[in-house]
Structures are given as structure tokens and as C-alpha cells.
Amino acid sequence: MSLKKDIIIDSIPNHIAIIMDGNGRWAKKRNKSRNHGHKEGRKSVRKVVEACAELGIKNLTLFAFSTENWNRPKLEINFLMKLLLTSLNQELETLTKNNIRFKIIGNLEKLPKRLSSYLIKVTKKTQNNNKMTLTVALSYGARKEIVDAMQAIGDKVKNNLISLKNIDESVINQHLYTHYLPDVDLLIRTSGEKRISNFLLWQIAYAELYFTKKLWPDFSKEDLYEAIVNYQQRERRFGKTSKQIN
Ligand code: IPE
Ligand code: IPE
Ligand code: MG
């Protein structure tokens, strides 16, 4: 029996973010190369994007490659960059057909030129789509994002475009890579690790965290439904008392 029927459509999360982890361990268990695990992980991306679109989730953000992942072996990095390019190439039509807006966050300058130009092209091509926004965090680190925002704001203060006393949370929000996104409601991490690994530190301030042991290539639509059902059973109090909420 699918858990899909247990999801209350009126209160689905507005923004789901996923740390897609465990490709390497998935492959190791099968005596395959880590790259084989990454290739397999691609299928999960497809399923999850499809499931979110079907449910009417408005924002999905996927962590694909962190600033720290640049420290991995060169061969693995090259493989991942190629995989991203071919995947995107193959999915462009699906994005368009399903009215999905594609966005990218992270330090694009560090990416191979061919990949970054293609990412920009896909972003432009899908910019008017409005069923769902799919953001891929690539060469992304939350601390770097915050540093970049601080520099941009500092620059504006210096040039008298904004005064110090007017800097508030909303100003900071507007200078983050994710300025077009609402806060994260549900953060999912696969593979059993219970850490954030420098992902969306500001945006998850009040997110519900969901950790599953499933390795990313094994993560299915049903696993996503399970996470959403679990999320919907929680009471989000935002500092208030339970009585105030109900
Ligand atoms: C997640 O899987 C994908 C990326 C970080 C690119 P990993 O490659 O981290 O897999 P494990 O954690 O080694 O199993
Ligand atoms: C986090 O996974 C980054 C992505 C999923 C892209 P890692 O596997 O790199 O994280 P750590 O190093 O185990 O924290
Ligand atoms: Mg990992």
C-alpha cells in the first residue's frame, strides 16, 4: 500500500531540501566503483523530482556537490561534473514539459566552463516555468553564501545604498543565493549521517529535520512520502505553546 494517500495535500511542505548522501557506500556494498553509485543516484533524483511535482510541492532544493567536495579525488570530481552535464542535457525536455523552473546555487566560477554555461542556459530556458522550482546546490557551501551576502551588503553600506540600522533579517535574505526561495520546511538527509555538512545554514533555522538510513540510490518515491507523512505528524510551534497553535 502506498503512503501517498496518507499525505494531507493542504499542508504539504512548501520547500523540501535534500542532502543526497550515500552513493559511495551503496556502490561499495556491491563491490562497484563509487562512480557507479553516483550514476545510480541519478535515478533517485529523477524519481524524487517527479514525485514532488506530482504532489504539488512548490520548491525542491537538492544538494549535489559541496564546496568541501572539491577535496575529493580528481577522477571522482571529473566524473561527477560529466554526469551532471549529461543528466541535465537528458532532463531538459522533462523540465520544460513539466513546467519546472531550474535554478542553481553555489560558486559557479569553480565549475568547468562547459558545465557552467550549460547551467546558465537551462536556467534561462526554464525561467518562466511556474509549477515547481528545482534548485540544485552545486559547488555550494552555506558559509561561503553568508560571506558573499555580507560582502554585498557591506558594499552597499559603503556606497550609501543602505544604512546600517536598516540591515535586518529580510535584507540578509535578499542577499543570499536563495533570495527567491522561502525558508526550508523539511530537510531530508539520506545515508544515516546526522549532520548538515554546510548546507543552507540560514534557511533551515526552523526546518523539520528528517534523517533516514536509506542510501541515496535506494531512496524511492515511497521514502519521500514517508518523510512527508512524518513531517505532517509533527507540531511546528515556532516558539509558541501547543495551545496557541491549536
Ligand atoms: C553523495 O554521496 C554524493 C556526493 C556528495 C557528491 P557520497 O559520494 O557522499 O557517498 P558516501 O557518503 O561516500 O557513501
Ligand atoms: C554532503 O555530503 C554533500 C552532498 C550530499 C552533496 P558529503 O558526503 O560530502 O558530506 P560529509 O563529508 O560526509 O559531511
Ligand atoms: Mg557522503
- Dump pLDDT digits (tens) for 18-45: 999 999 999 999 999 999 999 999 999 9
Nearest-CA residue for atom 11 of ligand 2: 197
Give residue 22 CA to ligand 3 midpoint distance, Å.
5
Residue 1 is predicted with a pLDDT of 87
Nearest-CA residue for atom 2 of ligand 2: 21
Residue 228 is predicted with a pLDDT of 98
pLDDT-derived band of residue 204, with 50, 70 and 90 as boundaries? very high
- The radius of gyration computed from the CA coordinates of the chain, to the nearest angstrom, equals 19
- Distance spanning both ends of the chain, measured CA to CA: 31
pLDDT at 233 over 90: yes
Nearest-CA residue for atom 1 of ligand 2: 197
Give residue 197 CA to ligand 2 midpoint distance, Å.
6
Give residue 37 CA to ligand 1 midpoint distance, Å.
8
Residues 6+ apart with CB under 8 A from 38: 23, 76, 79, 80, 83
Interval 156-194: pLDDT, tens: 999 999 999 999 999 999 999 999 999 999 999 999 999
Interval 51-78: pLDDT, tens: 999 999 999 999 999 999 999 999 999 9
How far from 122 is each of 92, 105, 164, CA to CA, in Å? 7, 13, 37
Which three cell numbers mark 44? Answer: 533517485
User: Helix 113-125 to helix 74-97 angle, to the nearest 10 degrees?
Assistant: 20
Residues 6+ apart with CB under 8 A from 194: 211
**E strands, the chain, where?**
15-19, 59-66, 100-105, 132-140, 186-189, 208-211
For a pocket test of ligand 1, which of 191, 193, 198, 215 has the largest count of ligand atoms closer than 8 A to its C-beta? 191
Interval 108-163: pLDDT, tens: 999 999 999 999 999 999 999 999 999 999 999 999 999 999 999 999 999 999 99
Q: What percent of the chain has pLDDT over 70?
A: 100
Q: What percent of the chain has pLDDT over 90?
A: 98
Taking the CA of 25 as reference, the closest ligand is 1
Considering the segment(s) 11-141+185-232 as one domain, its CATH architecture is: 3-Layer(aba) Sandwich (3.40)
How far from 112 is each of 66, 81, 152, CA to CA, in Å? 15, 8, 25
Domain boundaries of the chain, sorted by first residue: 11-141+185-232
pLDDT-derived band of residue 103, with 50, 70 and 90 as boundaries? very high
